Amino acid sequence: MPNPILVVKDLTKKYGDNIIFHDINMTVNEGDTDVIIGPSGTGKSTLLRCINLLTKANSGQIWLDGEEITAPGYDEDEVRQHVGMVFQNFLLFNHLTALDNVKIGLSKVKKLKDDQAEAKAMQELDRVGLADRAHHYPGQLSGGQQQRVAIARALAMDPRIMLFDEPTSALDPELIGEVLEVMRKLALDGMTMLVVTHEMGFAREVSDRIIFLEKGSIVEEGPPEVLFYTPKFERTREFLWKITELYGKKESDS
Amino acid sequence: MDVGRFIQYIASGTAYTVSVTLIALPLGLFLGLIFSLLYVYGGKVLTRIMSIYSTVMRGIPPIVLLFILYFMVSGNINLSPFWAGSISLGIVSSAYQMEIIRGALLSVSGAQMMAARAIGMSRMRAIKHIIIPQAFRMAICPWSNEAAIVIKDSSLVYALGVPEILRRAQLISASTQQPFLAFIVAGLIYFMLVFVTNRLLDGLDKRMRIPANP
Amino acid sequence: MKFRIVLALAIVLGVLLAGCQQAGEGSVLDKIQAANKVVVGTSADYPPYEYIDETGKMVGFDIELMEEIAKRMDVALDWQDMPFDSLIAAVQEGKIDMSISCFNYSEERDQLVDFSDPYYTSQDAFIVTDGFSGTFTVPEDAANFKVGVQSGTVQDEWLTAELVDAGLMSEANLSRYERVDQAALDLQVGRIDILMSDDVPAQAIVSQYDGLKIIYQGMLYTGPINIVLPDGAADLQAEVNRIIADLEAEGFIDALAVKYFSE
């Protein structure tokens, strides 16, 4: 029996009259890697932010590990400890070294002792292959390295699920590979992941399921081989054809 | 009066100038920090109140505020001119320091807050561990200017009867009829104080700068 | 000039705001005696009445007189130097117990504070440079020249009331200085034509600054100088007046005048 980690029900978000997405329903099972694809401006990033409560949805419910986190009075800060988030622009804390970026959540949120926090942070940095860059500041790291530190920072909190918001979109092509490699490894290790990306190679190869989001609602979802080769809708086929043309080459180069 | 004595007399006011500054500046920093946090993160009502505070305090000449605060502060409590003057000057400075820190807080991108919240930090913790340390670095340079202004404005407490550098220069000028020399001495002392302060803060700024590849 | 206006405005505002919260219980004399200390304000920039000597110590006619008064009150004396403009407000607000700083009586001041009996009578003087060639026979002739005066003094009041407000003199021709020595320097370099001051400091100025002379002496508005006391402090006033009368009778004040004002 698959164990649902994340369940989203009838989630709707609008700014004034402008509907970003509406009535989104999805379930992410433990150990799965689900990929959300879709044209820009269809609310994919906002959806991720609503899931870890950085943005408030207008209606709908979200369950994490069987608990409804959208219930009134639920401790949002507690929720976010269990939901790792990786942003498009890395968003490392600029004044902290790579090690301290990973460590700060452990010592200030999880309240680990300094030596424990440091050991755990080093371990996570090692996991993304950056133990030797521990004492570098974000400004001294390449974009790819910064994103790997950001992944380590999220992993350090031992999240139940990791959300990735276009983690490679801000990277130079030659730096995309190292980040995807880390994500691939995570997926193989059994991390539950929900990834918004345009990297079709990654989606095809790593994901268990692809969700095609367009104009604020889910058009089609299914295993990659179904969506890529026998989609139900013409719109899905068209989008995939376009996106592979645009992004597909890049990844095969790297 | 021989010139050596004369310089010594004016220079002995330096202790007052430095003490007034060392009380007013940290007091202004403390209040300014709290006020700026209320301004930026305090919600609509507090933002409005802080905005009015800032506009009013910065719209009135420091000497006027000094007198108003002096008579208000020591209306009930019997404070010496020195303490009343230092505290009043600190309150005046708080409005300016509040603006400096507010600017620095706003210059830290909102995304840093989001990233901090994303690892489960509360707003307060994010402000303390992520926003303030970064804002602090940005604030050093403009704060250095404010420090210089407070050193110079400390001369205003002479009006309350604190025998600091400027008042001593006036007394020397009156008794020796050599105003030029008296005020040159006072000017040089102020200049040295401001110069040394700026140098120290420049050093701090360089030391605190976050390393980055060129 | 602007600064003076701002300063005056500030004091008025400050006093208005603070006026409602004055602690007024108990007489000032009782307070002085209980503390065994009298706090006296002066603006020590007005030789020979009050100034600092080469050791930085406050000296002068007023200073020595006040020291004797405190001695006879059998209390310690605590001097508080501050700019002349701040003194009246400081007495009003109880920051100081009294002030001796060559104060002349005026009705306006009397509304704010009380005065002791006069302890000395001074005259007004007009100073010009040696090269002065204008016509100056009566004090009102000052209206035709650029005149300097120490701000807030009775001479300032006289010039303002009798010449400027009376329409004889343009406000632009009246320069108010924070201190009289600033005015003396401006007179020397020709920024003003005439300097009006109390006669005693005028004597000191012409002896210390080259090329200056007194062109007119007389009692206009000035005259007796008094100690400024808090409003309504009747027992303190009586005590100070009694001591002043004694000192006059003993010739103490005359001796002081000779010491400081000898021409």
Mean model confidence pLDDT for chain A: 92
Name the residue facing A139 among B117, B119, B211 (closest C-beta): B211
Cα of A166 to nearest chain B Cα, Å: 15
Pairing of strands C51-52, C98-104: unpaired
Cα of B125 to nearest chain A Cα, Å: 8
A100 or C122: which leads in pLDDT: A100
User: Stretch C21-44: mean pLDDT, rounded?
Assistant: 83
* Other beta carbons less than 10 A from residue C55's beta carbon: 9
Which residues partner with A85 through β-bridges? Answer: A163
Exposure pattern of A11-28 as b/e (b: 16+ CB <10 Å)?
A: bbbeeeeeebbbebebeb
Q: How many CA atoms lie within 13 A of C115 on its CB side?
A: 17
Read off the DSSP letter of residue A171.
Answer: S
Inter-chain CB proximity C13 and B61 less than 8 Å:
no
Q: Could you tell me the pLDDT band of residue A247, with boundaries at 50, 70 and 90?
A: low
Mean model confidence pLDDT for chain C: 87
Nearest-5° Cα angle at C169, C163 to C171: 100
Q: Could you tell me the pLDDT band of residue C21, with boundaries at 50, 70 and 90?
A: very low
Q: Is the pLDDT of residue A251 over 70?
A: no
Q: Could you tell me the pLDDT band of residue A250, with boundaries at 50, 70 and 90?
A: very low
User: Stretch B65-80: mean pLDDT, rounded?
Assistant: 75
Looking at chain C, which subunits does it touch, using at least 3 CB pairs closer than 8 Å as the criterion?
Answer: B
Cα of B165 to nearest chain C Cα, Å: 13
Name the residue facing C51 among B64, B81, B174 (closest C-beta): B174
Q: How far apart are CA C149 and CA C127, in angstroms?
A: 11
User: Stretch B155-183: mean pLDDT, rounded?
Assistant: 88
The one-letter amino acid at C88 = I
- The pLDDT value recorded for residue C6 is 62
- The pLDDT value recorded for residue C16 is 58
Residue C168 burial by CB count (10 A; 0-12/13-18/19+): exposed, middle or buried? middle
CB of A105 within 8 Å of any CB in chain B? yes
Q: Which of A141-145, B42-46, B55-59, B63-67 has the lowest mean pLDDT?
A: B63-67
- The pLDDT value recorded for residue C26 is 75
Closest chain A residue to B130, measured at CA: A93
Q: How many CA atoms lie within 13 A of A90 on its CB side?
A: 23
Inter-chain CB proximity A157 and B120 less than 8 Å:
yes
CB of A115 within 8 Å of any CB in chain B? no
Q: Is the pLDDT of residue C263 over 70?
A: no
- The pLDDT value recorded for residue B177 is 73
- The pLDDT value recorded for residue C212 is 93
Q: Is the pLDDT of residue A203 over 80?
A: yes
What CA–CA distances, in Å, run from B127 to A102, A179, B112, C1? 18, 29, 10, 47
Residue where the block lists tokens 């009015």 = B52
> Using a CB-CB distance cutoff of 8 angstroms, which residues of chain B are in contact with residue A137?
210-212
For C72-90, how does the pLDDT look when each residue is reduced to its tens digit (9 = 90+)? 999 999 999 999 988 998 8
Exposure pattern of A86-99 as b/e (b: 16+ CB <10 Å)?
A: bbbbbbbbbbbbbb
Q: Which domains does chain C have, with CATH numbers?
A: 2-120+226-261 (3.40.190.10), 124-218 (3.40.190.10)
What CA–CA distances, in Å, run from A215 to A209, B43, C107? 20, 34, 84
Pairing of strands A217-222, A18-29: unpaired
Q: Tokens standing for A208?
A: 């268990």
Looking at chain A, which subunits does it touch, using at least 3 CB pairs closer than 8 Å as the criterion?
Answer: B
- The pLDDT value recorded for residue C22 is 46
CATH of domain B3-208: 1.10.3720.10
Inter-chain CB proximity B129 and A104 less than 8 Å:
yes
- The pLDDT value recorded for residue B2 is 75
Which of B71, B76, B78 is the best substitution to test chain C (most C C-beta atoms within 10 A)? Answer: B71
For B102-119, how does the pLDDT look when each residue is reduced to its tens digit (9 = 90+)? 999 999 988 999 999 999
Do residues C38 and C76 lie in contact, with contact meaning Cβ atoms separated by under 8 Å? yes
B125 or A249: which leads in pLDDT: B125
The one-letter amino acid at A1 = M
Closest chain C residue to B73, measured at CA: C18
Q: Is the pLDDT of residue C55 over 90?
A: no
**What's CA A132's distance to the chain center, in Å?**
25
How much of chain C, in percent, has pLDDT values that exceed 70? 88
**What would you report as the CA-atom Rg of chain A, rounded to the nearest whole angstrom?**
18
Which of B171, B172, B178, B180 is the best substitution to test chain C (most C C-beta atoms within 10 A)? Answer: B171
Closest listed residue to residue B115, CA positions, set B106, B128, B126, B104: B126
Inter-chain CB proximity A94 and B118 less than 8 Å:
no
**What's CA B28's distance to the chain center, in Å?**
6
Cα of A54 to nearest chain B Cα, Å: 7
Q: What is the pTM of this model?
A: 0.79
For B124-167, how does the pLDDT look when each residue is reduced to its tens digit (9 = 90+)? 999 999 999 999 999 999 999 999 999 999 999 988 889 999 99
Inter-chain CB proximity B129 and A94 less than 8 Å:
no
Which residues partner with A83 through β-bridges? Answer: A161
Exposure pattern of A206-232 as b/e (b: 16+ CB <10 Å)?
A: bbbbbbbbbebbbbbbbebeebbeebe
What CA–CA distances, in Å, run from A88 to A81, A196, B115? 19, 10, 11
Q: Could you tell me the pLDDT band of residue C155, with boundaries at 50, 70 and 90?
A: confident
Do residues B163 and B19 lie in contact, with contact meaning Cβ atoms separated by under 8 Å? no
How much of chain B, in percent, has pLDDT values that exceed 90? 69
**What would you report as the CA-atom Rg of chain B, rounded to the nearest whole angstrom?**
20
Q: How far apart are CA C241 and CA B97, in angstroms?
A: 51
Q: How far apart are CA A228 and CA A195, in angstroms?
A: 17
User: Stretch A50-74: mean pLDDT, rounded?
Assistant: 93
Q: Is the pLDDT of residue C197 over 60?
A: yes
Q: Which of A46-50, B19-23, B201-205, C258-262 has the lowest mean pLDDT?
A: C258-262
User: Stretch C127-145: mean pLDDT, rounded?
Assistant: 91
Q: How far apart are CA A173 and CA A195, in angstroms?
A: 19
Q: Could you tell me the pLDDT band of residue A254, with boundaries at 50, 70 and 90?
A: very low
Q: Could you tell me the pLDDT band of residue C8, with boundaries at 50, 70 and 90?
A: low
User: Stretch A76-99: mean pLDDT, rounded?
Assistant: 95
Q: How far apart are CA C255 and CA B34, in angstroms?
A: 61
Read off the DSSP letter of residue A187.
Answer: H
